[in-house]
């Protein structure tokens, strides 16, 4: 004769799943950061044109932590160098730039894009928006100043906001 199990099996009450799904969606929506919105209208001020020209000239420059010369640049050093060409002074670090420069909702060519690449909620990376979904930036150790699409999921997830220090 087969042995009977002494374990009592009770089925859990069946609860509707849609409230849980709705709560999850609301939570995810609340965690979303700002949208990275851009506008390429083609009307550039002289300052913006100079910033973009200087940034393009820096393409291929080696990354150097703390670098702010054509011999080596970090992300905020690239911003300082390009903006100095247009006669605009900006703070030295990406964090200070993000905290002090005038924020905007839509980036135009020459504006700054800020990202939290360290995962601590602070601006730890900055790039210059070139237009047409591209930014120029100094990506990090062992790399060179380059362009990258801002529509990449990596950048979208880490985007904090934009600033427009140039007229």
Question: Which positions are catalytic?
Answer: 75, 125, 137
Residue found under tokens 């050093």: 77
Six-digit token string for 164: 């427009």
Question: Where does the chain have alpha helices with state H?
Answer: 18-31, 46-57, 75-85, 94-100, 153-158
Q: Across the strands, what pairs with 54? A: none
Cβ-contact 135, 162 below 8 angstroms? no
């Amino acid at each position: 004769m087969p042995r009977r199990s002494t374990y009592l099996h009770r089925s859990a009450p069946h609860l509707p799943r849609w409230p849980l799904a709705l709560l999850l969606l609301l939570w995810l929506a609340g965690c979303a950061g700002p949208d990275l919105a851009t506008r390429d209208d083609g009307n550039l001020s002289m300052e913006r044109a100079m910033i973009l020209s200087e940034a393009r000239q820096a393409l291929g420059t080696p990354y150097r932590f703390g670098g702010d010369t054509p011999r080596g640049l970090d992300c905020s050093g690239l911003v300082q160098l390009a903006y100095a060409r247009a006669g605009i002074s900006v703070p030295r670090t990406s964090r200070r730039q993000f905290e002090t420069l005038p924020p905007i909702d839509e980036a135009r060519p020459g504006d700054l894009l800020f990202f939290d690449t360290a995962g601590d909620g602070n601006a730890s990376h900055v790039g210059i928006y070139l237009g047409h979904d591209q930014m120029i930036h100094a990506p990090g150790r062992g790399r060179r100043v380059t362009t990258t699409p801002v529509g990449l999921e990596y950048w979208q997830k880490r985007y904090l906001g934009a600033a427009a220090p140039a007229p």
